[in-house]
Structure 1
Amino acid sequence: MLYAITDSQLLPGEHLYAAVAAALRGGCRRVQYRDKSSVSSVRTHQAATLLTLCCEHGAELIINDDVRLALNVGAHGVHLGQEDMPLAQARSLLGADAIIGVTCHASLDLARLAVQASADYVAFGRFFPSSTKPDAPPAPLSLLTDAHQTLGLPIVAIGGITLDNAHSVLASGADWLAVSHSLFSAPDIEARARAFFALADNRISQPNKD
């Protein structure tokens, strides 16, 4: 499945909404709102608007890092980094039905801890050079295979994923493709989303053989 990650530098102002709407029309079913620069009132307005768009398309809105923002706008969940609020505390605030994902970088041990703490998915990466997170440590594709075979919950792959390399990520065991620049810098975002969705849909119809 396609998991779109917004970028405040790539999608300034009102362009954010049109871009996300195009991705949703293209089949994206999960959007992560990621903005570490705007003032609180702007972020609240943008998150609430994106939530409305997602609900109109049967998609989920996940807030990056900010549990309070997710709670205030009624988002579907939150994505936590290793330095963010502990998962147990986020769960107590957002409730049992909230979707909570955890960044695990290139560490299966961190992923196991996230599973024990009741994460709904874990995210690994970066797998390729990334313009969004150029300094993130690299992760091997074999990590996805190991995680797929041992963790028992959805796996998100992030970091430099493009149409050219997405097949290898999915074939290695990822359930979700987390994409930012390759999606939102496309001249036709809806068409790009459809292309990613088609790759992921083929992965579902032809699952890995363990």
Structure 2
Amino acid sequence: MMTKPTAKLYLLTNDDEFDLLYQKLAAALATGVIGLLQIRRKKVLAQIDGQKKLESEARQIINLAKQYQVPVLINDDIDLAAKLGVGVHLGQSDGSISDAKAKLGSNAIIGRTCHGDVDLVTQAKIEGATYAAMGAVFASATKPKAATISIDALEQGINRGIDICIIGGLTAENISQLSHLAIAYVAVVGDIMELPVSQIAKRCEEWQRALQSFAKT
């Protein structure tokens, strides 16, 4: 019988002002709990010179993450990921996995959004993605209009032979409902990033305990 892999905590940035965001990321990364970090800054990109601002922010975040040996991904932008030497997470309309592999190299982490569609999970595996993201698992404040997926669909996705990342409304408390599943990454935004800086480390430690029990189930 195969040993179930330990799920890693996958932190995504929010739209805080950069100074505050950086403080929160520093607090989270210092705990050693974060296994993967995604830079997703939709409001920054919507600004004048948003691309330039995002690149500047990303360089600072990447340097911070390197101190803790945490891999970084850029949301949606293969070219920026290539420029910065990091991985990329792609929505269904944000470029091909083959293009990402060609530009980022065979060792780059490449994620693909698959929602609750098991066929998309299969396609992501065939195309060579590192992981397939499924969700929303629970109702999410970050994407309140996102449809939630069934546990059955999630189980089918896991059986497709590619690492599965779950996202959507996840907390250190409700993740226990999924502890029987062999999930590779647990993606979190609000449950950590919406807290004050002073509470970030404690919440990360609560996540660590939740995922330790998760892995042993």
Structure 1 and Structure 2 fold alike (TM over 0.5): yes
CA pair 201-153 structure 1, distance change in 2 beyond 3 A: farther
Contact 1:141 1:172 survives alignment (8 Å): no
Please name the residue that 2:19 is paired with.
14
Contact 2:10 2:187 survives alignment (8 Å): yes
Query: Higher mean Cα deviation, 160-169 or 111-120?
Result: 160-169
% of aligned pairs identical?
32
Distance in 2 (CA, whole Å) between partners of 1:181 and 1:91 is 30
Contact 1:108 1:147 survives alignment (8 Å): yes
Given the alignment of the two structures, is residue 114 of structure 1 paired with residue 124 of structure 2, yes or no? Answer: yes
- CA-based RMSD of the aligned residues comes to 1.3
Distance in 2 (CA, whole Å) between partners of 1:3 and 1:170 is 16
Please name the residue that 1:25 is paired with.
30
Q: How does 1:57-68 map to 2 (within 5 A)?
A: 57-68=68-79
Give the 3-state SS of the residue equivalent to 1:172 in structure 2: coil
Please name the residue that 1:69 is paired with.
80
Instruction: Tell me the CA shift for residue 144 of structure 1.
Output: 2.4
**Normalising by structure 2, what TM-score?**
0.88
Distance in 2 (CA, whole Å) between partners of 1:172 and 1:68 is 34
Given the alignment of the two structures, is residue 2 of structure 1 paired with residue 9 of structure 2, yes or no? Answer: yes
Distance in 1 (CA, whole Å) between partners of 2:182 and 2:188 is 16
Query: Higher mean Cα deviation, 85-94 or 167-176?
Result: 167-176
Counterpart of 1:177 (choices 186, 194, 205) is 186
**Normalising by structure 1, what TM-score?**
0.91
Q: Which runs of 5+ in 2 are unaligned?
A: 1-7, 45-49
Please name the residue that 2:172 is paired with.
163
Contact 2:173 2:210 survives alignment (8 Å): no
Please name the residue that 1:41 is paired with.
52
Distance in 1 (CA, whole Å) between partners of 2:186 and 2:155 is 15
Counterpart amino acid of residue 23 in structure 1:
A
Distance in 2 (CA, whole Å) between partners of 1:96 and 1:194 is 33
Give the 3-state SS of the residue equivalent to 1:104 in structure 2: strand
Q: Which runs of 5+ in 1 are unaligned?
A: none
Instruction: Tell me the CA shift for residue 56 of structure 1.
Output: 0.6
Instruction: Tell me the CA shift for residue 169 of structure 1.
Output: 2.7
Instruction: Tell me the CA shift for residue 174 of structure 1.
Output: 2.1
Instruction: Tell me the CA shift for residue 131 of structure 1.
Output: 1.0
Distance in 1 (CA, whole Å) between partners of 2:126 and 2:30 is 35
4+ residue stretches of structure 1 with deviation over 3 A? none
Contact 1:122 1:156 survives alignment (8 Å): yes
Distance in 1 (CA, whole Å) between partners of 2:143 and 2:180 is 23
Give the 3-state SS of the residue equivalent to 2:204 in structure 1: helix
Q: How does 1:51-200 map to 2 (within 5 A)?
A: 51-75=62-86, 77-148=87-158, 150-187=159-196, 188-200=199-211
Contact 1:156 1:174 survives alignment (8 Å): yes
Instruction: Tell me the CA shift for residue 85 of structure 1.
Output: 0.6
Instruction: Tell me the CA shift for residue 98 of structure 1.
Output: 0.6
Distance in 2 (CA, whole Å) between partners of 1:43 and 1:36 is 9
Distance in 1 (CA, whole Å) between partners of 2:179 and 2:164 is 10
Distance in 2 (CA, whole Å) between partners of 1:142 and 1:54 is 35
Distance in 2 (CA, whole Å) between partners of 1:201 and 1:126 is 23
Instruction: Tell me the CA shift for residue 170 of structure 1.
Output: 3.4
Contact 2:39 2:72 survives alignment (8 Å): yes
